Amino acid sequence: MPARDPECIFCKIIAGELASQIEYQDDQVTAFHDINPIAPVHLLIVPNKHIPSVNAVEPADEAMLGHMFTVARELAAKFGLAERGYRLIVNTGDHAGQVIFHLHMHLVGGRALGPMLAR
């Protein structure tokens, strides 16, 4: 069993202890629907191992981190997003609005998403 934080919501989702709509799971990553979607498709792709944020990423995580992109590509295709496009977002820390401190990649699409950031 990979390292986990007993207080972490996403660790509980990965372990099946907290209900969520899981879309994909393998030995490295889990993908599930965001509970409060900002677009028609809003998935979260997370490492099964508890990594609090990008600030805690290590070289040993590189294969798993790359795998997150492969899973993102597969899910984007599955949900019909490949042609028109989608956005992958990884918030890190307070200024970025990170709320859950278990590393996650948002996969958002299904509508025109507008400019990346407000100016």
Q: Which residues of this chain interact with Zn ion, rule CB under 5 A?
A: 5, 8, 10-11, 50, 102
Least distance CB 67 / ligand 5GP (angstroms): 20
CA-based end-to-end distance of the chain: 43
Catalytic site residue 67?
no
Least distance CB 49 / Zn ion (angstroms): 8
- The CA-CA-CA angle for residues 42, 44, 46, to 5°, reads 170
List the single partner that 11 binds among ligand 5GP, Zn ion, none, CB under 5 to 8 Å by kind: Zn ion
Residue 117 contacts ligand 5GP per CB under 6 A: no
68 touches 29 (CB < 8 A): yes
Strands (E), the chain: 22-25, 29-33, 41-47, 86-89, 105-109
Of residues 8 and 88, the one with the C-beta less far from Zn ion: 8
Catalytic residues: 104
